[in-house]
Amino acid sequence: MKFITINKNNFFLNLKKQKRPWQNNYLSMYSTQWDGITTDPDLMMIPVDDHLVHRGDGAFDVMRCVRGSVYQMEEHLKRLECSAKAIFLKFPPVYNHIRDLIKSLILIGGERDCVIRIILSRGPGSFSTNPYDCPSSQLYVNVIRFHSLPQKYYKDGIPVISSSIPIKKSFFANIKSCNYLPNVLMKMEAIRSGHEFSISLDEDGFLAEGSTENIGVLGDDGVLKFPGFERTLSGITVSRVVQLAGELVKEKIIKDVKFTRILPEDAYNAKEMFLTGTSLNILPVITFDGKPIGRSIPGPIYLRLSSLLWEDMTGNSDLLTEVL
């Protein structure tokens, strides 16, 4: 097979010959590589020698813009900063203006409902594992059109399974790094089994987390439980859901809410179970490993928490950064 030689003159001409329908949702991007913003998906690239690409050496975070306002921006930025600090990754100077940058990207993208992905990489420098080969870190920020899950998932609930993929060690589980291979394998395992979601277990057999989701379980004792953050990523959404659930405790709708260890058997016998995360809000689980949860329909606690969270995401001015 004969290959043509690519240069600056014919690069985009040949690139255009390949259809990339998935790029239709890419609204805007900033990169320190060219220190500017683009709305052209063909330009949204990262150098192959960036250690982010060939070593997964970087940290990231994801936040939502809902009806023109970013939800919990400060909490997401704080988590990104903690992840970066844990792996000795410094921010480039432009990060001092990250809030204005995010707003500009959303405005240029033109969508009131979108997802903002912030990636901090070790940067280009070599193809080795040596991070000191990289002269400076790089910042990449993408704004992507938001698409919710099918409404039937929220109306009817979803089935989930236990995952056989080994859980990350505590140190790595608490860092939102760009090495997401275990998460990818969890998602693949779920889809291959005819499901959309799976839940990992720790070495002691307790529930940990989904590929990108945290887990809530309402037991027969009326206590709403969530796996703690010792072995899972500190979820921004689940932390807020726990706070909102405190209202249900005050109203004596549930007995208590807490982070604790949860066995699969506790989930099998639960009244309700759900997943929660930035992109899905709260998603009811109706079967776990083929066993029915409660009455196998979304329960009243899920419905109430889902309503409280949506009200929070659209009306709590203390947690919303207005953009559009």
Decide if 83 is inside a domain.
yes
189 shares its domain with 283 = yes
98 shares its domain with 163 = no
Decide if 18 is inside a domain.
yes
159 shares its domain with 304 = yes
Decide if 110 is inside a domain.
yes
Of 171, 142, 156, 130, nearest to 65 (Cα)?
A: 142
Last residue of a domain, one of 112, 145, 178: 145
Q: How far apart are CA 281 and CA 157, in angstroms?
A: 13
- Give the per-residue pLDDT at 214: 98
169 shares its domain with 89 = no
134 shares its domain with 160 = no
Structural domain for 211, as ranges: 151-315
CATH number of domain containing 212? 3.20.10.10
Q: Which residues, listed in sequence order, are joined to residue 62 by a DSSP beta bridge?
A: 117
158 shares its domain with 306 = yes
156 shares its domain with 84 = no
- List of E strands, the chain: 26-31, 36-38, 58-66, 69-71, 114-121, 138-145, 158-162, 197-201, 207-210, 214-218, 223-226, 256-259, 272-277, 281-288, 291-292, 320-322
271 shares its domain with 135 = no
- Give the per-residue pLDDT at 17: 86
Decide if 4 is inside a domain.
no
Decide if 321 is inside a domain.
no
pLDDT tens series, the chain, 324 aa: 889 999 999 999 988 888 889 999 999 999 999 999 999 999 999 999 999 999 999 999 999 999 999 999 999 999 999 999 999 999 999 999 999 999 999 999 999 999 999 999 999 999 999 999 999 999 999 999 999 999 999 999 999 999 999 999 989 999 999 999 999 999 999 999 999 999 999 999 999 999 999 999 999 999 999 999 998 999 999 999 999 999 999 999 999 999 999 999 999 999 999 999 999 999 999 999 999 999 999 999 999 999 999 999 999 999 999 998
Q: How far apart are CA 242 and CA 198, in angstroms?
A: 22
53 shares its domain with 112 = yes
103 shares its domain with 169 = no
198 shares its domain with 282 = yes
Last residue of a domain, one of 145, 176, 198: 145
> Could you give the C-alpha distances from 91 to 76, 85, 126, 192, in angstroms and in order?
15, 10, 19, 39
- Give the per-residue pLDDT at 19: 86
CATH number of domain containing 78? 3.30.470.10
Whether residue 187 lies in the annotated active site: no
For 95-111, b where at least 16 C-beta lie within 10 A, e where not — what string?
beebeebbbbbbeebeb
141 shares its domain with 155 = no
Decide if 93 is inside a domain.
yes
Last residue of a domain, one of 145, 180, 208: 145
Question: 103, 168, 176, 271: which is the annotated catalytic residue?
Answer: 176
- Give the per-residue pLDDT at 256: 98
Decide if 320 is inside a domain.
no
Decide if 193 is inside a domain.
yes
- Give the per-residue pLDDT at 18: 85
φ, ψ at 85 (rounded to 5°): -65, -40
How many domains does the chain contain in total? 2
